[in-house]
Amino acid sequence: MLSPLIDRLRATTLRTRLAVWNAAVVVALMGVTLLSVRFAARAVLYADADAELRGAAREVALAIQELEGDEPRILATLRRKAAGHEERGWFLQLLTPDGMTIWRSDHCPEDVLNYPPTDVERMETVRQVGHYRYVSTRVDRLEDEPLLVRVGTYTTGLDEGLAGLMWLLTAVALLLTAITPLAAWWLAGRATKPLAAILRSAAQLSPTRLGDRLPVRGSRDELDVLAQTINGLLDSVAKHVDRQEQFVADAAHELRGPLAALQSSMEVALARDPAATAGLESVPDMLEAARHLSKVANDLLTLAESGQEPTPADNVVVDLVTIAHQTVAMFSGVAEEQGLALVVSAAAPAAVRGDPIDLRRLTSNLLDNALRFTPSGGSVRVSIVSGVNAAVMTVSDSGSGIAARDLDRVFDRFFKSDPSRTHGGGRRSSGLGLAICRSIVEASGGTIAIESRLGQGTTVTVRLPLAAGHRMGAPADAFSRRPPAPQPASR
């Protein structure tokens, strides 16, 4: 019966569990305390009462022994004692060991009178009969058989006092039981607050921002140790990723020299004398392969570089809408030729921060993909909407779509979809286009997502943080950093 509850507790937050356990322990301890107090109070009260009764019984026994043989004086003493104790609610009985009452005080209850003596051989016994309690003391006599003196009292008062105390204690306990979970919840909240802060910071961590670290509060407690441990892990992960990226960049870089040698020698051989390559008809194909290799090496380098922290020179404020229009202008001819509608919709400029060349590469790669996978008569739409914090650019096509099982992998390096579904012509792609897109978007602190339905089309959504409050630089300026295009004089 408890197990579903326990299961549910396991599923809840650490704070709830801490609070529940705290409250449960406090309530249990309170219950135990309450029972102990009741037991102890009762024991103390009864021991006190017994001691007084015992004293009184001994006094009577001593008097009887002293006055042995003098009946009238004994009775007078008994009467006097009884009258003395009357107002305290005590009663007195003198009886023979076989239960015959010799004398009794006025208020001695019938229950006690008729109760037969037990343990007569013992000097003193204490007995509880219903609401009455008495001490029975044996009075040994020199010439006669022993007698028993019973001095008793009503325990109703005692019990009522005890019950009152218990009521009070129970009321306090109930109040505490009501307060305890709240206090426990509050305390657990305080205890887990730094943990919640760590969790919030940890949720911000991302593979694209490997420079971020969890805050260490300097309190040197377990949570600080946890944060430091995670930070240490992040350090080594960042170092590892850096090494990997550096390796890719170095490898791509190293490939460039030999590729340049290969490509330029073949180009010269082809250009110089086509006859010289007689018997080597495959040279153009080899050249094409060398160019493809160069393209892969270049894209790998682009990928490795775009994953690094942008330098200030590459991080300017640009209008995403202008970038989109420039890119659409570049592809509009191809779209017309393929019989595709290519439209941009944007209501207002969207100032984002990034490398303008990278942003053009991003939009070009996305448009190129959309156009290549959309059959004639279809459409490709670019829309840019500025939200409160982010500019959202979507590139959607009515193309062949991507199978759900491939959707997770399209941003992976070297992922290539089924080439039979492309519609435009064109060369082989390097398989790095969308990986570069993701890298560019993430370098600008944005996100990229893709949705697709087979046969219905694909939508890529890019979210880039808005560069609010920044002067809008003309994107054209950013291109002037490039080496000038060749501009020779006329002949």
Residues that bind another protein (CB under 8 A): 253, 256-257, 259-265, 267-268, 270-272, 284, 287-288, 290-291, 294-295, 297-298, 301, 305, 311, 313-314, 326, 329-331, 333-334, 336-337, 357, 360-361, 364-365, 368, 371-372, 424-429, 433, 476, 479, 481-491
Min dist. Cβ of residue 210 to another protein (A): 20
In angstroms, give the least distance from the CB of 239 to another protein: 22
Q: Least distance to another protein from the beta carbon of 203, Å?
A: 34
Q: Which is nearer to another protein, 147 or 460 (CB)?
A: 460
Q: Least distance from C-beta 247 to another protein, angstroms?
A: 16
- Amino acid, res. 360: R
- Can you tell me the distance from the alpha carbon of 376 to that of 397, in angstroms, rounded to the nearest whole number? 12
Please report how the helices 320-338 and 356-372 are oriented relative to each other, as an axis angle in degrees rounded to 10. 30
Which of 360, 400, 358, 362 is closest to 378 using CA atoms? Answer: 400
Contact status, residue 143 vs residue 30, Cβ threshold 8 Å:
no
Which lies closer to another protein via its Cβ, residue 10 or residue 491?
A: 491
Residue burial 221-250, b: 16+ Cβ < 10 Å; e: rest: eebbebbeebeeebeeebeeeeeebeebbe
> Where is 464: in which H helix or E strand?
strand 457-465
CB 289 to another protein: min, Å: 11
Provide, rounded to whole angstroms, the least separation between the CB of residue 295 and another protein: 6
Nearest distance in Å: CB 457, another protein: 18
* CB of 201 or CB of 298, closer to another protein: 298
Residue closer to another protein (CB basis): 288 or 442: 288
Nearer to another protein, 4 or 483 (CB): 483
Q: In the block, which residue shows the tokens 């009501």?
A: 178
Which is closer to another protein, CB of 66 or CB of 250? 250
Cα 120 to chain centroid, rounded = 73
Task: Pick between residue 290 and residue 460 the one whose CB is nearest to another protein.
Answer: 290
Residues 6+ apart with CB under 8 A from 251: 300
Q: Smallest Cα–Cα separation from 378: which of 425, 433, 336?
A: 336
